[in-house]
Structure 1
Amino acid sequence: MGGSVVVGLDGTGNSVPAVHWGAEEAVARGLPLHLLHSWISQPLSLAIAQEAADEKRFGAEVLAKAEAMARESHPGVSVTAEQVSEEAVDALVERSRQAALMVLGSRGHGAIAGFLLGSVSLHVLGRAECPVVTVREEAVAYGKPEVVVGVQEAGTKGEAVLDFAFAAAAAHHATVRAVRAWEPAAFGDFAPTVSPAGETELAADEEKKLNDILAPWRAEFPGVKVVEQVQRGRVAPVLLGSCAQASLLVVGRRMHRTPMLLGPVVFAVLHHSACPVAVVPRV
Protein backbone atom coordinates (compact mmCIF):
# COMPACT_ATOMS: atom_id res chain seq x y z
CA MET A 1 0.00 0.00 0.00
CA GLY A 2 1.39 3.39 -0.95
CA GLY A 3 1.08 6.69 0.86
CA SER A 4 1.69 7.36 4.53
CA VAL A 5 -0.13 7.31 7.84
CA VAL A 6 -1.00 10.95 8.56
CA VAL A 7 -1.71 11.99 12.14
CA GLY A 8 -3.42 15.34 12.74
CA LEU A 9 -2.22 17.05 15.94
CA ASP A 10 -4.10 19.82 17.74
CA GLY A 11 -1.69 20.18 20.63
CA THR A 12 -4.01 18.76 23.31
CA GLY A 13 -3.95 15.45 25.14
CA ASN A 14 -6.29 14.06 22.49
CA SER A 15 -3.29 13.81 20.16
CA VAL A 16 -1.32 11.39 22.35
CA PRO A 17 -3.35 8.21 21.60
CA ALA A 18 -3.55 9.22 17.94
CA VAL A 19 0.25 9.39 17.72
CA HIS A 20 0.68 5.97 19.39
CA TRP A 21 -2.02 4.40 17.25
CA GLY A 22 -0.68 5.97 14.05
CA ALA A 23 2.88 4.82 14.79
CA GLU A 24 1.68 1.27 15.49
CA GLU A 25 -0.26 1.26 12.23
CA ALA A 26 2.66 2.65 10.23
CA VAL A 27 5.02 -0.06 11.53
CA ALA A 28 2.47 -2.84 10.99
CA ARG A 29 1.82 -1.77 7.40
CA GLY A 30 5.40 -0.82 6.55
CA LEU A 31 4.47 2.81 5.89
CA PRO A 32 6.02 6.15 6.91
CA LEU A 33 4.36 8.23 9.63
CA HIS A 34 3.61 11.89 8.88
CA LEU A 35 2.70 14.28 11.71
CA LEU A 36 0.81 17.45 10.81
CA HIS A 37 -0.07 20.52 12.88
CA SER A 38 -1.75 23.76 11.82
CA TRP A 39 -0.48 26.66 13.91
CA ILE A 40 -3.44 28.83 12.95
CA SER A 41 -5.97 26.19 14.04
CA GLN A 42 -4.80 25.68 17.62
CA PRO A 43 -7.61 25.27 20.19
CA LEU A 44 -8.79 28.55 21.69
CA SER A 45 -8.05 27.32 25.22
CA LEU A 46 -4.42 26.84 24.26
CA ALA A 47 -4.16 30.30 22.78
CA ILE A 48 -5.57 31.80 25.99
CA ALA A 49 -3.24 29.75 28.16
CA GLN A 50 -0.28 30.74 26.04
CA GLU A 51 -1.26 34.41 26.12
CA ALA A 52 1.41 36.14 23.99
CA ALA A 53 3.48 33.04 23.24
CA ASP A 54 4.44 32.47 19.66
CA GLU A 55 1.93 30.04 18.14
CA LYS A 56 4.46 28.80 15.62
CA ARG A 57 6.94 27.98 18.36
CA PHE A 58 4.21 26.16 20.28
CA GLY A 59 3.35 24.20 17.14
CA ALA A 60 6.99 23.23 16.66
CA GLU A 61 7.08 21.97 20.25
CA VAL A 62 3.91 19.95 19.68
CA LEU A 63 5.46 18.27 16.64
CA ALA A 64 8.81 17.67 18.35
CA LYS A 65 7.15 15.99 21.33
CA ALA A 66 4.95 13.86 19.08
CA GLU A 67 7.91 12.80 16.94
CA ALA A 68 9.94 11.86 20.03
CA MET A 69 6.97 9.91 21.39
CA ALA A 70 6.55 7.96 18.13
CA ARG A 71 10.26 7.14 17.88
CA GLU A 72 10.45 6.06 21.51
CA SER A 73 7.45 3.74 21.33
CA HIS A 74 8.29 2.43 17.83
CA PRO A 75 12.06 2.82 17.22
CA GLY A 76 11.96 1.58 13.63
CA VAL A 77 9.26 3.94 12.38
CA SER A 78 10.05 6.50 9.66
CA VAL A 79 8.69 9.87 10.86
CA THR A 80 8.30 13.25 9.20
CA ALA A 81 6.70 16.35 10.72
CA GLU A 82 5.02 19.33 9.08
CA GLN A 83 3.66 22.59 10.45
CA VAL A 84 1.33 24.46 8.11
CA SER A 85 -0.26 27.89 7.95
CA GLU A 86 -3.41 26.53 6.30
CA GLU A 87 -6.60 25.83 8.19
CA ALA A 88 -6.37 22.35 9.68
CA VAL A 89 -9.36 20.99 7.75
CA ASP A 90 -8.02 22.17 4.39
CA ALA A 91 -4.52 20.85 5.11
CA LEU A 92 -5.74 17.44 6.27
CA VAL A 93 -8.19 17.01 3.40
CA GLU A 94 -5.45 17.92 0.94
CA ARG A 95 -3.04 15.40 2.50
CA SER A 96 -5.77 12.74 2.44
CA ARG A 97 -5.51 12.61 -1.35
CA GLN A 98 -2.11 10.91 -1.11
CA ALA A 99 -2.34 9.24 2.32
CA ALA A 100 -2.99 5.58 2.99
CA LEU A 101 -4.99 6.54 6.06
CA MET A 102 -5.39 9.38 8.54
CA VAL A 103 -5.59 9.28 12.35
CA LEU A 104 -7.29 11.85 14.59
CA GLY A 105 -7.63 11.94 18.36
CA SER A 106 -10.96 12.43 20.09
CA ARG A 107 -12.16 13.08 23.60
CA GLY A 108 -13.81 10.50 25.83
CA HIS A 109 -17.41 9.35 25.56
CA GLY A 110 -18.91 12.27 27.43
CA ALA A 111 -17.56 14.93 25.12
CA ILE A 112 -17.29 13.38 21.69
CA ALA A 113 -20.62 14.70 20.40
CA GLY A 114 -19.61 18.25 21.14
CA PHE A 115 -16.10 17.58 19.85
CA LEU A 116 -17.33 16.39 16.49
CA LEU A 117 -20.19 18.76 15.73
CA GLY A 118 -18.85 21.73 13.82
CA SER A 119 -15.27 20.68 14.53
CA VAL A 120 -12.18 19.93 12.50
CA SER A 121 -12.79 16.20 12.93
CA LEU A 122 -16.33 16.32 11.57
CA HIS A 123 -15.27 18.08 8.39
CA VAL A 124 -12.21 15.91 7.87
CA LEU A 125 -14.24 12.74 8.40
CA GLY A 126 -16.80 13.95 5.88
CA ARG A 127 -14.41 15.19 3.21
CA ALA A 128 -11.26 13.07 3.39
CA GLU A 129 -10.46 10.89 0.40
CA CYS A 130 -8.72 8.20 2.47
CA PRO A 131 -9.92 6.22 5.52
CA VAL A 132 -9.90 8.25 8.74
CA VAL A 133 -9.48 6.58 12.14
CA THR A 134 -10.61 8.33 15.33
CA VAL A 135 -8.91 7.19 18.52
CA ARG A 136 -10.17 8.00 22.01
CA GLU A 137 -7.93 8.97 24.89
CA GLU A 138 -8.56 5.64 26.61
CA ALA A 139 -8.13 3.47 23.50
CA VAL A 140 -5.43 0.80 23.35
CA ALA A 141 -4.22 -0.14 19.88
CA TYR A 142 -5.21 -3.71 19.00
CA GLY A 143 -5.90 -4.88 22.54
CA LYS A 144 -7.98 -7.76 21.18
CA PRO A 145 -7.05 -9.04 17.71
CA GLU A 146 -10.42 -8.57 16.02
CA VAL A 147 -11.47 -6.08 13.35
CA VAL A 148 -15.24 -5.61 13.14
CA VAL A 149 -16.59 -4.44 9.79
CA GLY A 150 -20.14 -3.53 8.85
CA VAL A 151 -21.22 -5.26 5.63
CA GLN A 152 -24.43 -3.79 4.31
CA GLU A 153 -23.56 -2.90 0.73
CA ALA A 154 -23.14 -5.46 -2.05
CA GLY A 155 -21.09 -4.75 -5.16
CA THR A 156 -18.57 -1.96 -5.60
CA LYS A 157 -20.09 0.27 -2.89
CA GLY A 158 -18.68 -1.90 -0.13
CA GLU A 159 -15.33 -2.78 -1.69
CA ALA A 160 -13.25 -0.02 -0.10
CA VAL A 161 -14.63 -0.85 3.35
CA LEU A 162 -13.78 -4.53 3.08
CA ASP A 163 -10.39 -3.77 1.51
CA PHE A 164 -9.48 -1.65 4.52
CA ALA A 165 -10.81 -4.12 7.10
CA PHE A 166 -9.02 -7.13 5.64
CA ALA A 167 -5.76 -5.23 5.13
CA ALA A 168 -5.86 -4.06 8.75
CA ALA A 169 -6.54 -7.58 9.98
CA ALA A 170 -3.73 -9.01 7.85
CA ALA A 171 -1.26 -6.39 9.09
CA HIS A 172 -2.07 -7.15 12.73
CA HIS A 173 -2.70 -10.91 12.44
CA ALA A 174 -6.27 -10.24 13.55
CA THR A 175 -9.63 -11.84 12.86
CA VAL A 176 -12.24 -10.11 10.72
CA ARG A 177 -15.73 -10.15 12.21
CA ALA A 178 -18.04 -9.33 9.30
CA VAL A 179 -21.37 -8.08 10.65
CA ARG A 180 -24.57 -7.80 8.66
CA ALA A 181 -27.68 -6.39 10.34
CA TRP A 182 -31.10 -7.00 8.85
CA GLU A 183 -34.75 -6.25 9.49
CA PRO A 184 -37.87 -7.38 7.60
CA ALA A 185 -38.87 -4.79 5.01
CA ALA A 186 -41.47 -2.39 6.40
CA PHE A 187 -44.63 -1.46 4.54
CA GLY A 188 -45.19 2.25 5.04
CA ASP A 189 -45.19 2.88 8.77
CA PHE A 190 -45.90 -0.72 9.65
CA ALA A 191 -43.28 -3.36 10.46
CA PRO A 192 -44.43 -6.78 9.26
CA THR A 193 -45.01 -9.67 11.62
CA VAL A 194 -42.77 -12.57 10.68
CA SER A 195 -43.39 -16.16 11.72
CA PRO A 196 -40.49 -18.13 13.25
CA ALA A 197 -40.19 -20.13 10.04
CA GLY A 198 -40.22 -16.95 7.98
CA GLU A 199 -37.58 -15.34 10.16
CA THR A 200 -35.35 -18.40 9.80
CA GLU A 201 -35.72 -18.20 6.03
CA LEU A 202 -34.94 -14.48 5.95
CA ALA A 203 -31.90 -14.96 8.18
CA ALA A 204 -30.63 -17.77 5.94
CA ASP A 205 -31.00 -15.51 2.92
CA GLU A 206 -28.99 -12.77 4.66
CA GLU A 207 -26.31 -15.30 5.62
CA LYS A 208 -25.98 -16.33 1.98
CA LYS A 209 -25.70 -12.69 0.90
CA LEU A 210 -22.94 -12.08 3.42
CA ASN A 211 -21.08 -15.23 2.44
CA ASP A 212 -21.26 -14.27 -1.25
CA ILE A 213 -20.05 -10.72 -0.56
CA LEU A 214 -17.06 -11.96 1.44
CA ALA A 215 -15.94 -14.64 -1.02
CA PRO A 216 -13.47 -12.45 -3.00
CA TRP A 217 -11.77 -11.22 0.19
CA ARG A 218 -11.49 -14.71 1.63
CA ALA A 219 -9.67 -15.66 -1.58
CA GLU A 220 -7.41 -12.59 -1.52
CA PHE A 221 -6.58 -12.89 2.19
CA PRO A 222 -6.47 -16.66 2.82
CA GLY A 223 -4.49 -16.20 6.05
CA VAL A 224 -7.13 -13.99 7.67
CA LYS A 225 -9.68 -15.78 9.84
CA VAL A 226 -13.24 -14.59 9.18
CA VAL A 227 -16.20 -14.78 11.52
CA GLU A 228 -19.56 -14.11 9.89
CA GLN A 229 -22.29 -12.56 12.03
CA VAL A 230 -25.82 -12.02 10.76
CA GLN A 231 -28.14 -10.44 13.29
CA ARG A 232 -31.62 -9.01 13.21
CA GLY A 233 -31.73 -5.40 14.32
CA ARG A 234 -30.82 -1.85 13.37
CA VAL A 235 -27.33 -1.38 11.99
CA ALA A 236 -25.81 0.92 14.64
CA PRO A 237 -26.88 -1.05 17.74
CA VAL A 238 -25.80 -4.33 16.14
CA LEU A 239 -22.37 -2.94 15.25
CA LEU A 240 -21.87 -1.41 18.69
CA GLY A 241 -22.80 -4.66 20.38
CA SER A 242 -20.33 -6.52 18.19
CA CYS A 243 -17.31 -4.28 18.76
CA ALA A 244 -17.38 -3.94 22.56
CA GLN A 245 -14.07 -5.82 22.88
CA ALA A 246 -12.69 -5.28 19.37
CA SER A 247 -9.49 -3.56 18.27
CA LEU A 248 -11.12 -1.60 15.46
CA LEU A 249 -14.55 -0.95 13.98
CA VAL A 250 -14.71 -0.22 10.24
CA VAL A 251 -17.70 1.51 8.66
CA GLY A 252 -18.31 3.18 5.31
CA ARG A 253 -19.61 6.62 4.44
CA ARG A 254 -21.08 8.03 1.28
CA MET A 255 -18.97 10.39 -0.76
CA HIS A 256 -20.28 13.93 -1.30
CA ARG A 257 -23.07 13.51 1.22
CA THR A 258 -25.14 16.67 1.76
CA PRO A 259 -26.31 18.52 3.76
CA MET A 260 -24.95 16.28 6.58
CA LEU A 261 -21.37 15.16 6.03
CA LEU A 262 -21.89 11.91 7.93
CA GLY A 263 -24.86 9.60 8.17
CA PRO A 264 -26.67 8.51 11.36
CA VAL A 265 -24.87 5.16 11.64
CA VAL A 266 -21.45 6.80 11.46
CA PHE A 267 -22.48 9.39 14.03
CA ALA A 268 -23.79 6.69 16.36
CA VAL A 269 -20.65 4.54 16.28
CA LEU A 270 -18.36 7.57 16.67
CA HIS A 271 -20.36 8.62 19.71
CA HIS A 272 -20.64 5.24 21.42
CA SER A 273 -17.89 2.90 20.22
CA ALA A 274 -15.35 1.92 22.87
CA CYS A 275 -12.73 1.05 20.25
CA PRO A 276 -11.12 3.14 17.47
CA VAL A 277 -13.40 3.70 14.48
CA ALA A 278 -12.27 3.77 10.85
CA VAL A 279 -14.56 5.72 8.52
CA VAL A 280 -13.90 4.66 4.93
CA PRO A 281 -15.21 6.67 1.96
CA ARG A 282 -17.21 4.52 -0.43
CA VAL A 283 -16.71 5.23 -4.13
Structure 2
Amino acid sequence: MLTPVIAGVDGSAESLAAAEWAAREAERRGCGLRLVHAWERGPRPVRGASAGAVHRHLARRVLRQVEDRVRAVHPGTRLDDEQTEGPAGAVLLHAAEQADLLVLGCRGLSGFTGFLVGSVALDVVARATRPVVLVRAGEEAADEHLPAADGSPSTRTGYRDVVLGVDTADPCDEVIGFAFEEARLRRARLRAVHARQTGAALGRALEETDADALRSLTDVVGTWREKYPDVEVLTTVATGRAQSVLVRAASGASLLVVGHRLTERPVGPLTGPVTHAVVHHVDCPVAVVPHV
Protein backbone atom coordinates (compact mmCIF):
# COMPACT_ATOMS: atom_id res chain seq x y z
CA MET A 1 0.00 0.00 0.00
CA LEU A 2 1.31 3.44 -0.91
CA THR A 3 2.34 5.67 1.98
CA PRO A 4 0.23 8.82 2.32
CA VAL A 5 1.18 12.41 1.76
CA ILE A 6 1.08 14.14 5.17
CA ALA A 7 0.07 17.75 5.76
CA GLY A 8 0.58 19.57 9.05
CA VAL A 9 -2.46 21.73 9.81
CA ASP A 10 -3.43 24.26 12.47
CA GLY A 11 -6.50 25.87 10.91
CA SER A 12 -4.62 28.90 9.54
CA ALA A 13 -4.88 30.09 5.94
CA GLU A 14 -1.34 28.81 5.39
CA SER A 15 -2.15 25.30 6.54
CA LEU A 16 -5.35 25.24 4.48
CA ALA A 17 -3.32 26.06 1.38
CA ALA A 18 -0.85 23.34 2.35
CA ALA A 19 -3.64 20.79 2.86
CA GLU A 20 -5.18 21.54 -0.53
CA TRP A 21 -1.78 21.35 -2.26
CA ALA A 22 -1.14 18.05 -0.44
CA ALA A 23 -4.50 16.73 -1.66
CA ARG A 24 -3.58 17.55 -5.25
CA GLU A 25 -0.20 15.87 -4.76
CA ALA A 26 -1.87 12.78 -3.28
CA GLU A 27 -4.10 12.56 -6.34
CA ARG A 28 -1.08 12.87 -8.62
CA ARG A 29 0.65 10.06 -6.72
CA GLY A 30 -2.45 7.89 -6.39
CA CYS A 31 -2.18 7.72 -2.60
CA GLY A 32 -4.06 9.01 0.42
CA LEU A 33 -3.71 12.19 2.46
CA ARG A 34 -3.22 12.33 6.22
CA LEU A 35 -3.81 15.54 8.14
CA VAL A 36 -1.74 15.94 11.31
CA HIS A 37 -2.49 18.43 14.08
CA ALA A 38 -0.33 18.90 17.18
CA TRP A 39 -1.50 20.45 20.43
CA GLU A 40 0.15 21.17 23.75
CA ARG A 41 -1.40 21.56 27.17
CA GLY A 42 -1.57 25.11 28.44
CA PRO A 43 0.10 26.12 31.71
CA ARG A 44 -3.23 26.51 33.51
CA PRO A 45 -6.02 23.96 33.97
CA VAL A 46 -9.41 24.76 32.44
CA ARG A 47 -12.16 25.21 35.02
CA GLY A 48 -14.88 22.58 34.87
CA ALA A 49 -13.10 20.35 32.34
CA SER A 50 -9.79 18.63 31.91
CA ALA A 51 -7.26 20.52 29.83
CA GLY A 52 -6.73 17.43 27.70
CA ALA A 53 -10.42 17.15 26.83
CA VAL A 54 -10.62 20.81 25.83
CA HIS A 55 -7.53 20.61 23.64
CA ARG A 56 -8.74 17.42 22.00
CA HIS A 57 -12.07 19.11 21.24
CA LEU A 58 -10.31 22.10 19.69
CA ALA A 59 -7.99 19.84 17.71
CA ARG A 60 -10.96 17.85 16.42
CA ARG A 61 -12.65 21.08 15.32
CA VAL A 62 -9.54 22.23 13.44
CA LEU A 63 -9.21 18.89 11.69
CA ARG A 64 -12.90 18.82 10.79
CA GLN A 65 -12.70 22.29 9.24
CA VAL A 66 -9.70 21.32 7.12
CA GLU A 67 -11.26 17.99 6.14
CA ASP A 68 -14.45 19.75 5.01
CA ARG A 69 -12.39 22.18 2.92
CA VAL A 70 -10.37 19.41 1.29
CA ARG A 71 -13.40 17.22 0.57
CA ALA A 72 -15.22 20.18 -0.99
CA VAL A 73 -12.52 20.65 -3.65
CA HIS A 74 -11.12 17.10 -3.80
CA PRO A 75 -14.01 14.74 -3.04
CA GLY A 76 -12.16 11.69 -4.30
CA THR A 77 -9.15 12.04 -1.97
CA ARG A 78 -8.63 9.21 0.52
CA LEU A 79 -8.41 11.14 3.75
CA ASP A 80 -7.59 10.39 7.35
CA ASP A 81 -6.30 12.45 10.26
CA GLU A 82 -4.26 12.35 13.42
CA GLN A 83 -4.18 14.61 16.45
CA THR A 84 -1.26 14.30 18.83
CA GLU A 85 -0.30 15.98 22.07
CA GLY A 86 3.23 17.32 22.02
CA PRO A 87 5.53 19.98 20.55
CA ALA A 88 4.60 20.65 16.93
CA GLY A 89 8.15 20.15 15.66
CA ALA A 90 8.55 16.75 17.26
CA VAL A 91 5.09 15.64 16.13
CA LEU A 92 5.73 16.69 12.53
CA LEU A 93 9.16 15.08 12.40
CA HIS A 94 7.67 11.81 13.65
CA ALA A 95 4.87 12.07 11.09
CA ALA A 96 7.38 12.70 8.29
CA GLU A 97 9.05 9.37 9.03
CA GLN A 98 5.79 7.64 8.11
CA ALA A 99 5.43 9.23 4.68
CA ASP A 100 7.30 9.99 1.50
CA LEU A 101 6.35 13.66 1.72
CA LEU A 102 5.45 16.19 4.42
CA VAL A 103 3.65 19.41 3.42
CA LEU A 104 3.61 22.55 5.58
CA GLY A 105 2.15 26.01 5.17
CA CYS A 106 4.33 29.09 5.48
CA ARG A 107 4.17 32.83 6.06
CA GLY A 108 2.35 32.38 9.35
CA LEU A 109 3.22 34.41 12.41
CA SER A 110 3.56 31.60 14.91
CA GLY A 111 3.78 27.85 15.32
CA PHE A 112 5.04 25.62 12.55
CA THR A 113 3.68 27.98 9.87
CA GLY A 114 6.29 30.64 10.62
CA PHE A 115 9.55 31.23 8.81
CA LEU A 116 11.52 33.34 11.21
CA VAL A 117 14.93 31.95 12.11
CA GLY A 118 14.47 29.38 14.85
CA SER A 119 10.83 28.71 14.01
CA VAL A 120 9.45 25.21 14.13
CA ALA A 121 9.01 25.09 10.35
CA LEU A 122 12.67 25.77 9.65
CA ASP A 123 13.65 23.29 12.33
CA VAL A 124 11.48 20.62 10.71
CA VAL A 125 13.06 21.33 7.32
CA ALA A 126 16.54 21.15 8.85
CA ARG A 127 15.92 17.86 10.68
CA ALA A 128 13.49 15.93 8.48
CA THR A 129 14.86 12.86 6.73
CA ARG A 130 12.02 12.92 4.19
CA PRO A 131 11.22 15.64 1.63
CA VAL A 132 9.28 18.63 2.95
CA VAL A 133 7.21 20.91 0.71
CA LEU A 134 6.51 24.46 1.88
CA VAL A 135 3.36 26.09 0.49
CA ARG A 136 2.51 29.78 0.57
CA ALA A 137 -0.80 31.08 1.89
CA GLY A 138 -3.16 31.73 -0.98
CA GLU A 139 -1.62 29.08 -3.25
CA GLU A 140 -4.35 27.73 -5.54
CA ALA A 141 -4.61 24.91 -8.03
CA ALA A 142 -4.53 27.30 -11.00
CA ASP A 143 -1.19 28.69 -9.81
CA GLU A 144 0.45 25.39 -10.79
CA HIS A 145 -0.84 25.63 -14.35
CA LEU A 146 -0.06 27.79 -17.35
CA PRO A 147 -2.65 30.52 -18.02
CA ALA A 148 -5.40 29.98 -20.56
CA ALA A 149 -5.10 31.42 -24.05
CA ASP A 150 -6.81 34.62 -22.92
CA GLY A 151 -4.41 34.97 -19.98
CA SER A 152 -6.91 33.94 -17.32
CA PRO A 153 -6.08 31.37 -14.59
CA SER A 154 -6.92 27.78 -15.50
CA THR A 155 -6.57 24.25 -14.19
CA ARG A 156 -7.15 22.73 -17.62
CA THR A 157 -3.86 23.83 -19.13
CA GLY A 158 -0.49 22.14 -18.71
CA TYR A 159 1.62 22.49 -15.60
CA ARG A 160 4.24 25.16 -15.23
CA ASP A 161 7.89 24.05 -15.09
CA VAL A 162 9.38 22.13 -12.21
CA VAL A 163 12.69 23.87 -11.40
CA LEU A 164 15.63 21.94 -9.96
CA GLY A 165 18.66 23.55 -8.39
CA VAL A 166 21.80 21.51 -9.19
CA ASP A 167 25.28 21.82 -7.73
CA THR A 168 27.33 20.08 -10.42
CA ALA A 169 30.31 19.78 -8.05
CA ASP A 170 28.20 17.74 -5.61
CA PRO A 171 25.09 16.37 -7.37
CA CYS A 172 22.68 14.33 -5.30
CA ASP A 173 20.60 11.48 -6.71
CA GLU A 174 17.84 11.88 -4.09
CA VAL A 175 17.25 15.49 -5.07
CA ILE A 176 17.49 14.97 -8.83
CA GLY A 177 15.31 11.86 -8.73
CA PHE A 178 12.65 13.65 -6.70
CA ALA A 179 12.52 16.50 -9.22
CA PHE A 180 12.26 14.18 -12.22
CA GLU A 181 9.44 12.24 -10.57
CA GLU A 182 7.54 15.44 -9.75
CA ALA A 183 7.90 16.56 -13.37
CA ARG A 184 6.68 13.16 -14.57
CA LEU A 185 3.64 13.26 -12.30
CA ARG A 186 2.69 16.65 -13.77
CA ARG A 187 3.78 15.93 -17.35
CA ALA A 188 5.69 19.14 -16.92
CA ARG A 189 9.03 20.32 -18.24
CA LEU A 190 11.94 20.03 -15.84
CA ARG A 191 14.27 23.02 -15.81
CA ALA A 192 17.62 22.09 -14.25
CA VAL A 193 19.48 25.21 -13.13
CA HIS A 194 23.11 25.57 -12.09
CA ALA A 195 24.53 28.76 -10.61
CA ARG A 196 28.04 29.41 -11.89
CA GLN A 197 30.17 31.50 -9.58
CA THR A 198 33.42 33.21 -10.47
CA GLY A 199 36.76 31.59 -9.76
CA ALA A 200 37.49 34.19 -7.09
CA ALA A 201 34.29 33.36 -5.25
CA LEU A 202 35.11 29.67 -5.34
CA GLY A 203 38.77 30.11 -4.45
CA ARG A 204 39.85 28.60 -7.75
CA ALA A 205 42.76 29.70 -9.87
CA LEU A 206 40.88 28.87 -13.05
CA GLU A 207 37.34 30.03 -13.63
CA GLU A 208 34.76 27.62 -15.00
CA THR A 209 33.31 28.85 -18.28
CA ASP A 210 29.62 28.81 -19.16
CA ALA A 211 30.33 26.05 -21.67
CA ASP A 212 32.12 23.95 -19.05
CA ALA A 213 29.29 24.45 -16.57
CA LEU A 214 26.60 23.58 -19.10
CA ARG A 215 28.50 20.46 -20.13
CA SER A 216 28.77 19.36 -16.50
CA LEU A 217 25.08 20.02 -15.89
CA THR A 218 24.10 18.09 -19.01
CA ASP A 219 26.23 15.15 -17.87
CA VAL A 220 24.67 15.18 -14.38
CA VAL A 221 21.10 14.99 -15.64
CA GLY A 222 21.94 12.71 -18.56
CA THR A 223 21.44 9.45 -16.67
CA TRP A 224 18.10 10.64 -15.34
CA ARG A 225 16.96 11.58 -18.82
CA GLU A 226 17.39 7.91 -19.74
CA LYS A 227 15.30 6.85 -16.72
CA TYR A 228 12.60 9.40 -17.50
CA PRO A 229 12.45 9.57 -21.31
CA ASP A 230 9.02 11.25 -21.26
CA VAL A 231 10.23 14.22 -19.22
CA GLU A 232 11.34 17.21 -21.27
CA VAL A 233 14.48 18.71 -19.74
CA LEU A 234 15.90 22.18 -20.17
CA THR A 235 19.37 22.83 -18.73
CA THR A 236 20.30 26.38 -17.77
CA VAL A 237 23.49 27.93 -16.39
CA ALA A 238 23.40 31.41 -14.85
CA THR A 239 26.21 33.41 -13.29
CA GLY A 240 25.68 34.55 -9.72
CA ARG A 241 25.01 33.38 -6.21
CA ALA A 242 22.88 30.23 -6.08
CA GLN A 243 20.30 31.93 -3.86
CA SER A 244 19.67 34.74 -6.36
CA VAL A 245 19.78 32.49 -9.40
CA LEU A 246 17.19 30.08 -8.00
CA VAL A 247 14.83 32.80 -6.79
CA ARG A 248 14.81 34.24 -10.33
CA ALA A 249 14.51 30.82 -11.97
CA ALA A 250 11.54 29.81 -9.81
CA SER A 251 9.46 32.79 -10.90
CA GLY A 252 6.45 31.34 -12.69
CA ALA A 253 7.29 27.72 -11.78
CA SER A 254 4.91 25.15 -10.32
CA LEU A 255 7.54 23.80 -7.92
CA LEU A 256 11.15 24.48 -6.95
CA VAL A 257 13.27 21.53 -5.77
CA VAL A 258 16.42 22.06 -3.72
CA GLY A 259 18.59 19.78 -1.64
CA HIS A 260 19.48 19.99 2.03
CA ARG A 261 22.49 18.19 3.46
CA LEU A 262 21.78 16.50 6.78
CA THR A 263 24.68 17.59 8.94
CA GLU A 264 24.95 18.38 12.62
CA ARG A 265 26.32 21.88 13.10
CA PRO A 266 27.76 23.24 16.36
CA VAL A 267 24.43 24.85 17.27
CA GLY A 268 22.29 22.03 15.91
CA PRO A 269 20.81 21.29 12.48
CA LEU A 270 20.30 24.38 10.35
CA THR A 271 19.21 25.05 6.81
CA GLY A 272 22.01 26.20 4.52
CA PRO A 273 22.06 29.69 2.99
CA VAL A 274 20.51 28.58 -0.30
CA THR A 275 17.59 26.76 1.33
CA HIS A 276 17.09 29.57 3.81
CA ALA A 277 16.93 32.16 1.03
CA VAL A 278 14.57 30.33 -1.29
CA VAL A 279 12.02 29.44 1.39
CA HIS A 280 11.83 33.12 2.28
CA HIS A 281 11.71 34.62 -1.20
CA VAL A 282 10.35 32.11 -3.75
CA ASP A 283 6.66 32.50 -4.57
CA CYS A 284 5.94 28.94 -5.68
CA PRO A 285 5.92 25.83 -3.44
CA VAL A 286 9.43 24.73 -2.45
CA ALA A 287 10.43 21.09 -2.00
CA VAL A 288 13.42 20.60 0.29
CA VAL A 289 14.93 17.13 -0.22
CA PRO A 290 17.36 15.88 2.46
CA HIS A 291 20.49 13.98 1.61
CA VAL A 292 23.76 12.95 3.27
TM-score normalised according to structure 2 size: 0.83
The counterpart of 1:186, out of the listed 191, 200, 212, is 200
Contact 1:11/1:59 (<8 A) preserved: no
Cα pair 2:9 2:36 within 8 Å, conserved:
yes
Aligned partner of 1:206 among 189, 192, 213: 213
Give me the whole-angstrom Cα distance separating, in 1, the residues matched to 2:81 and 2:229. 36
Aligned twin of 1:129: 129
| TM-aligned CA distance change 1:254 to 1:41, over 3 Å | farther
User: Hey, what does 2:90 align to over in structure 1?
Assistant: 90
Question: Deviation of residue 86 (structure 1)?
Answer: 2.3
Note the alpha carbon deviations across 1:186-241, whole angstroms, 9 max, x for none: 2798x98x9xxxx8x71111111001100111111111111110111110111111
Counterpart of 2:36 in structure 1 is 36
For 2:179 and 2:93, the matched residues in 1 are separated by: 22
May I ask how many residue pairs the two structures share in their alignment?
A: 266
Q: Secondary structure at the match of 2:236?
A: strand
Distance 1:268 1:29, change over 3 A: same
Once the two structures are superposed, the pairs formed by residues 9-158 of structure 1 within 5 Å of their partners are 9-40=9-40, 54-107=54-107, 115-141=115-141, 142-144=144-146, 145-153=160-168, 157-158=171-172
Report if aligned partners of 2:13, 2:138 keep a CA contact under 8 Å in 1: no
Whichever residue aligns with residue 256 of structure 1, its letter is: T
Name the SS for the 1:25 alignment partner: helix
Measure the CA separation in 1 of the matches of 2:233 and 2:94: 34
Deviation, structure 1 residue 90: 1.1
Match of 1:270 in 2: 279
What are the superposed Cα offsets for residues 134-153 of structure 1, whole Å, 9 maximum, x if unpaired? 11113234234210010104
Larger relative contact order (C-alpha < 8 A, sep ≥ 6)?
A: 1
User: How far apart are the structure 1 equivalents of 2:72 and 2:213?
Assistant: 47
> Is the 1:113–1:271 contact (alpha carbons within 8 Å) kept by the matching residues of 2?
no
1:229 equivalent in alignment to 2:236: yes
Match of 1:244 in 2: 251
**Superposed displacement of residue 162, structure 1:** 0.8
* Stretches of 4+ aligned residues off by more than 4 angstroms: none
2:226 corresponds to = 219
In structure 2, runs of 5+ residues without a counterpart are: 147-159
**Residue 279 of structure 1, CA deviation:** 0.6
Over the matched positions of the two proteins, sequence identity in percent amounts to 41
Could you say what the CA RMSD is over the residues aligned between the two structures, in angstroms?
2.8
1:96/1:102 contact within 8 Å kept: yes
Q: Does the C-alpha gap of structure 1 residues 216 and 87 become closer, same or farther in structure 2, counting only changes over 3 Å? A: same
TM-score under structure 1 normalisation? 0.86
Structure 2 distance, partners of 1:127, 1:276, is: 19
> Is the contact between residue 41 and residue 88 of structure 1 (CA under 8 Å) also seen in structure 2?
no
Give the Cα–Cα distance (whole angstroms) in 2 for the partners of residues 272 and 6 of structure 1: 24
Task: Give the whole-Å Cα distance in 1 for the aligned partners of 2:169 and 2:201.
Answer: 23
Rounded to whole Å, the distance in 2 between the matches of 1:266 and 1:115 is 12
